[in-house]
Structure 1
Amino acid sequence: MAIVLACLAALPAVVAGIGWSVSAAVDDNLTGRPIPDHQLAEIVSATSSCPMLTPARVAGQLMAESGLNSTAVRTKSGGRGIAGLDDQDWKRWAPWPNAVRTDSSANILALAHQMCDLSGQLRVANVPGDRWRLSLAAFRSGLTAVEEERGIPDSAADYVDEAVGYASYYARQPKFGGPGGQPVPTTPPANAKPLPAEYVQPVLAAGKVCQQVTPAAVAAVLMAASGFQPNLLGRNGERGIAQFRTDLWRRYGPADGSAWEPADAIPAVGTALCTLITELSAISGDPYVLALSAFRMGPDAVRQAGGTPNAATHAFLGNVASYTPTTSSTPDSPPPPQRRRRPHHPSDPQHRGPRRPRHQTPRQHRRPRTRGRRPATTSLRSRLRTPATP
C-alpha cells in the first residue's frame, strides 16, 4: 500500500491550498506527532475528496481526534481508530466494499468523505463562517448543533481550535510544503482546463456508478488522459477523450458504443474504474489508486507489478491528483451531450464496416449500471464532487 500511495505523497498540486485562513487565533505552541511517509501518503490521497481538504488539515484533525493512534478505542468525538469514526459513520462512509475497520488508510479516506459531505450540507444550509472550521464542529457536535447555532457551538470550540492549531503546525513542516520543503503552488496547474459544458452530464453519470469514483475524479482522468480532446489517438493506440486501451474498451465499454464518442466513453470510465476497484481488491494498496493504475497500464500489468506503477503511470496518477481540485465546478445549466463524428483512423477496428447513415437519429445517452452503494448526497448541487460540494 505504501509504495502505491507514496506516488501521490510528493505531488505539489495535491498539497495546494495549505495557506488557508482561519477566523480565530491559532495556537502556534501545539506540536503534532511525526507522521511516517506511508501515513502521509494515505493523508495526501484522502485530500482529493474535495478542495476544502489539505494534507495539513487532515493531519491536524487526526492529531486532535486520536493523537494519530490507529488503535484508539475511544477518541475525542467518541469514535475509535485513527479517524475517530463511530460504527454508524464507518458503515456509511467505508470507502470500498469489505474495508477493514482497523485499516488506517480506509479510516482516513472515510473521514475525508464525511468531512466533505458535512461541508456541503453546511453550505446548503447557508451557515456563515469558515467552511472547514464549521465542518470540524459538525463532526464533533453534530450537524444540527452547528445549524442551530449558525456557527461553532461551545461544545465544539475547543476541538476546532485544537485541530486548527495542529493543522497550523503541520503546514509549517517541510513534508507538508513548509519552510525548506517542496514549494506549494497557490494556483491550479498551468495547463488545466475547465470541463467543457457538453461533458458535464456524462461526467456526472460516470461519477454515480460507485462511491469510490467521484465525478471530479472522472473529469480529472479525462483531463489527464486527453485534455478533453475527443479525437485523440494515443501513441499505443489509446482512443478518444478517455484514451481507452483496446483491451479495456472491449471489457468495459458498451457493446454497441465507440471509444471515440464522449457520450459512450465518459460513462464507461466510471464503469471501468469501479469494476477494477473490485477486481483488484486482492492486491494490497488503495483500491482507487490501483484502479487508476490499471486504467493506464492494464490490470494484468498491475498484478504482475504488485501494484507498483511504472514511470508513465506514476506521471498519470500525479496529473489526475493535481487536476482533481480544478475540475470541481461546472456551468449551472449544461446542455445535453452532443455526439461527435468519430475521426477516421484506419488502424481502429471500430471503423471497419458501414457507418451509420447521417439522417439516422443518434442514440440517446445511456446511463451506466449502478454498482455498490451511493453516497447519501448525490445531486446536481454537488456537481463534480461526491459527497456534497464544500
Structure 2
Amino acid sequence: MSDMSQRLREPLVIAILVVAVAGWLAFLAMWINTSGESDRLRAEINQLTAEQTEANRLLEEREASQGTLEELTAARDAAQQESETATAALADINTALETRQQELDGINEALSTRQQEATALTAQVDEAQDRTEELASRQASLQSEIDSSGRQLQDVGGRLEEARRQEETATANLAQLIEEAANTTASLAEAQSQLQSARGELTTAQQQLADTTAQTEEAGAQVAALEAQVTELEDRRTTLESDVAGYEQQLSTLQPQVAELTSTLAQRSSELEAVEAEIGAGMPSAPAGTQFAVSAEGQANGLSLTLNDDGSFEMRDRINRAVTGAYELSGGNLVLSDAVGRLGDATFPMTCPVDEDDGGLTIGAAEACPLSGLRFERVEADPAQ
C-alpha cells in the first residue's frame, strides 16, 4: 500500500493520467465536431475539462500537503469514479452521435431519392414539351394537306366535268357514225341484192340471146342496158364500200378516243370518290346491298348490277350510263321494273331466269331478256365506303 501511494505521488504517473484523460477528451471533441449538436457537446467537454482541472488541483493540493494514504486512496477512488462517469457520458455521447449520424444518412438517402424523382419529372416535362411541339408541327402539316386536298378536289371536279362533256360529245359522234355506218351497210346490202338480181337478169338475157338469135338487136340492146345497169351498180357498190371503209376508219379512230375518255373519266371518278370519302365521312351512306359485275371479255364487260336491301336496283355500264328501279328476286326469276334511265336497247319491265350461287348470278336464256347468258360475279363491298 505504501508503494502504491508512493507511485501515485510520482510526477510521471500523474502526467500519464493527465495525458490519458486529455486523449479521451480530444477523441470526444473529434466526435462532437462531426455531429449537429456540437454546442451541447462542447459545453459538456468544457464541464469535464473543468472537473479534470479541479481534480488535478485537488491532487496537487493533496500532494502538497502530504496527505495520508487513506486520503490519497479516497481521492484516487473519486478520480476513478469521475473517470468512469466521464467514460459513461462519452459512451452516451457516442450513442447519440451514431443516432444523429443514422438520421443524417436517412435524410441524405431521402434527399437523393427526391433528387432522382425531380430529375425524372424534369425529363418527363422535357419529353412532354417535345411531344407538344411535335403535335403542333403535325397539326400544321395536316392543315396544309387538308388545304391541298380541297384545291385538288376543285381541280378534279373541273376536269371531271370537262371529261364528261367530252364523253357526251364523243358518244354522240360515235352514235351518229354507227347510225350512218348501219345505213351505209344497209344500202350496200341492197346494192349487192340489186347487183345479184341484175346478174340473174343478165344471165337470163344471155340465155334468151342464145336461144333467140332472131331478136339479136333487141337482145343486144337489153344486154347493153343490163351491162350498163351492172356497171352502174358496181360503181355504186364501190362507192358504198369506200364510204363504209371511211366510216369504219373513223369508227376505229374514235373508239380508242372514247375508250381513253372512258378510262380517264373512270380514273377521275375514282379520284373524286377517294377525295369525297376523305372529306365527306359524315355524309349519309348509300343503301346497303350486293354488287355484281360482268368480268368476262365482250361487249358486256364492265356491266355492273347492284341489288339493294330496300328492293331497289342499279345497273351501270362501263361508260357510266345507269338505270335505276325496283327488283324482285324469287322463284328463280329476276324481275326489273320501274326503270329510270336508259342503257342500250334494254326495255323494262324485264324478266330473266337466274341461277344464284355463292360466287354470283348466272342469267339464263329468255326471249325478252337482253342479259341472257351473262355471268355476274359477286363484288366484295369496300369497307371504306
Higher helix share: 2
Give the structure, 1 or 2, with the largest relative contact order (CA under 8 Å, sep 6 or more): 1
Higher strand content, 1 or 2: 2
Is the structural similarity TM-score above 0.5? no
Return the TM-score normalized by structure 2.
0.20
Q: TM-score, normalised by structure 1?
A: 0.20
